[in-house]
Amino acid sequence: MILSLIFGFVIGAAAIIFILQNTATVALSFIGWQFESSLAIVVMLSMLVGIIFSLLASIPSVIRSSMAIAKLKKQNRSLQEEAQSYLHTAQEATARLNTNSTPTHPSAM
């Protein structure tokens, strides 16, 4: 948690320094759409759009992983119940053997 907070502060400080050092105005045009803005804002918005697209592209694999984890947890629960059943059966069999067996004493000759 604290490491994430420190990392966030470092990234935030780097972003502020970047913005302060790149105040030049740039003209952009895209499919008939034109505007002028600070270079820093254009770069930051481009990075933000890239991050958003990356996160959206990773959603299917996250969903697949979550489904696989849920399936494995269910399988794990089932196997634990099966193992517990076998353990209970083995304990019952051991108890029956202990009660049914007669102690053998050496007979006096």
CA 102, chain centre distance (Å): 57
Question: What distance in Å separates the CA atoms of residue 68 and residue 16, rounded to the nearest whole number?
Answer: 41
Which of the 8 DSSP states describes residue 74?
H
For the chain, the domains span 20-96
Amino acid at 86: Y
| pLDDT tens digit at each of 109 positions of the chain | 788 889 888 988 888 888 888 778 888 888 888 888 888 888 888 888 988 999 999 999 999 999 999 999 999 999 999 999 999 999 998 888 888 765 666 665 5
Q: Is the pTM of this model over 0.75?
A: no
